[in-house]
Amino acid sequence: MNDFLAERVVGNATSSFTEHLAAVRPDLLPSNRVVPSDASHLSPHGTTVVAMSFAGGVLMAGDRRATMGSMIASRHIEKVFPADQYSVLGIAGAAGLAVDIVRLFQVELEHYEKIEGTLLSLEGKATRLGAMIRANLSLALQGLAVVPLFAGFDLYQGVGRLFSYDVTGGRYEELEHHSVGSGSVFARGALKKLWRPGLAEADAVRVSVEALFDAADDDSATGGPDPLRQLWPVVYTVTRVGNRRASENELAQIAGDIFEQRSIAGREA
Amino acid sequence: MTQPFYVSPEQVMKDRADFARKGIARGRSVVVLCCRDGIALVAENPSPSLHKIGEIYDKIAFAAVGKYNEFESLRQAGVRYADVRGYSYDRVDVTGRGLASVYAQSLGAVFTAEQKPLEVELTVAEVGHDVGSDHLFRLTFDGSIADERRFVVMGGAAERVAEAVIGGWSAEASFAEAIQLAAKALRDERTDPTLSLEVAVLDRKSETGRGLRRAFRRISQDELTELLTGPI
């Protein structure tokens, strides 16, 4: 009897918020939704996210557009979020579900930190995110795929690291740079030419804005810098001291410079 | 068949209360006090890793005395309650009052229904915009809840430590002054000159000062030594 009770107590002692929700409030989990066989037309889609390493950290940036079919669903959506103090995640795919997964992941990390009194390792965080994406597989097959990109500063190794995922939860560490979403092909092309080893933080921010600029140029679902509404990409950098969101002024300046340079060149972009 | 002896409910409750009080009286004291900079939580704790003070949510902290395994599971339950609530509603909907009331219900249920009451005493502290809007909820083993002002002292020598704190308390004190006051009150109580303290704060200005929503911050041993020996 006592053994049985002790086992039960140990079994219930979880540091994972997701496991706790699955036990007490499974209805709150994003992956537990029941949707009709094909729901892809129901949800707006978030598009391009780019990430890269630079000297002393990693960077992640996302454009501001969500689309439904050929329509623009939102010009203001944000797709890159701080996960905790030392990591950020960006999401492409079904926007509503993606935002819920981000929220769950943020609580998951904070919950672990509060229960255990220590931060989860970067590898541990990347694994948890993979498990969440895997839990979402059946929804992905019904057209609601969410594909994240995860970046953070590894406090043990003292380097910034970058992880990409597939819809089955497979996790792959990326070197140098990566991008996801509909405009990722064009962004990747731009990154291959613009990225260099040991970029300074400020240069990395510029490279990310320019890569998104190129993605928006050729992909209708990616939004470029919008001087009319003063909308710029969301850019986060993560270094040893934690994450930082690039200011509006900084981004407006960079976007202005890119417009100017490209119009001076007078070429077909 | 043997009949159990009749014991009056008054006697049962009294025995349980005495049992719990005895357990708590053995514990070392904890002081939680409001000040200008926020709320300071100061515990006498020989262990650097088995904490008596913990973070629950953005503006809410937890302090306890008594049996470690019992208050640790209450702390974890509090974190789970707060995180589920914040996730299913919004972060601002997690309040100290709500949490304290859940704690009161579980302590009360255990006190009346279980074999033995929990030998713990808790404080749920919630930092507000100013000292007037801070909340300190003190919870005892039988589920009683009290909304305290200014400061709370729990543990074996609570009354004597409280007397020492009450004289020096000020709403205008900085964290350094509040922590020094609490440390002095705890030290005077003990004959042993070495006193290991566990200290954390709920920073009133965490959002403007550090850009963090989470107000809870542990004070490291080095920082504490500096605070206790340095000028006020």
d(CA B52, CA B31): 11
Q: What is the pLDDT of residue A91?
A: 92
More confident residue, B26 or A119: A119
Tokens of A98: 């993606």
Residue A156, Cβ density class (10 Å: 0-12 exposed, 13-18 middle, ≥19 buried): exposed
Chain A residues touching residue B94 (CB < 8 angstroms)? none
Determine the residue of chain B that is closest to A17 in CA distance.
Answer: B80
Q: What is the pLDDT of residue B203?
A: 93
| Tokens 């059946």 sit on residue | A138
d(CA A57, CA A161): 8
Contact assignment for B87 to A115 by CB distance below 8 Å: no
Among candidates A28, A114, A115 on the partner chain, residue whose Cβ is nearest the Cβ of B87: A28
More confident residue, A203 or A7: A203
Give the mean pLDDT of A230-251: 94
Give the mean pLDDT of A184-194: 94
Among candidates A20, A24, A114 on the partner chain, residue whose Cβ is nearest the Cβ of B55: A114
Chain B residues touching residue A13 (CB < 8 angstroms)? 76
Contact assignment for B79 to A115 by CB distance below 8 Å: yes
Q: Which of B45, B68, B81, B83 to mutate to test the interface with A (most CBs of A within 10 A)?
A: B83
- Which residues neighbour A101 within 8 Å (Cβ) at sequence distance 6 or greater? A30, A91, A132, A133, A136, A146, A148
Which amino acid, one-letter code, is at B39?
I
Give the mean pLDDT of A63-71: 90
* A77-107 tens-digit pLDDT: 999 999 999 999 999 988 888 999 999 999 9
Contact assignment for A107 to B87 by CB distance below 8 Å: yes
Q: What is the pLDDT of residue A1?
A: 46
Interface residue A128 vs chain B (CB under 8 A): no
Among candidates B49, B84, B214 on the partner chain, residue whose Cβ is nearest the Cβ of A21: B84
Q: What is the pLDDT of residue A10?
A: 73
Interface residue A21 vs chain B (CB under 8 A): yes
Residue whose C-alpha is closest to residue A65's, from A224, A253, A249, A186: A224
Contact assignment for A110 to B83 by CB distance below 8 Å: yes
Q: What is the pLDDT of residue B230?
A: 67
Nearest CA of chain A to the CA of B75: how many Å? 8
| Tokens 């699955």 sit on residue | A22
Among candidates B80, B88, B214 on the partner chain, residue whose Cβ is nearest the Cβ of A20: B80
Q: What is the pLDDT of residue B210?
A: 78
Tokens of B2: 């043997």
Using DSSP, state whether A245 is helix, strand or coil.
Answer: strand
The pLDDT averaged over each successive group of 10 residues in chain B (232 residues) is 82 89 86 94 90 94 93 93 93 93 93 88 94 94 92 88 89 91 86 81 87 89 85 55
Chain B residues touching residue A111 (CB < 8 angstroms)? 79-80, 83
Using DSSP, state whether A164 is helix, strand or coil.
Answer: strand
* A10-41 tens-digit pLDDT: 777 788 898 888 888 888 888 887 777 777 77
d(CA A91, CA A79): 6
Q: What is the pLDDT of residue A3?
A: 64
Chain mean pLDDT for chain A: 90
Q: Burial letters for B182-196: b for 16+ Cβ neighbours within 10 Å, e otherwise?
A: bbbbbbebeeeeebe
In the predicted model, is pLDDT for residue A208 greater than 90? yes
Interface residue B89 vs chain A (CB under 8 A): no
Interface residue B128 vs chain A (CB under 8 A): no
d(CA B123, CA B144): 12
In the predicted model, is pLDDT for residue A231 greater than 90? yes
Q: Which band of pLDDT confidence, cut at 50, 70 and 90, is reported for residue A2? A: low
In the predicted model, is pLDDT for residue A62 greater than 90? yes
Interface residue A17 vs chain B (CB under 8 A): yes
Dihedral sign for Cα A200, A203, A205, A208, please.
Answer: negative
Interface residue A25 vs chain B (CB under 8 A): yes
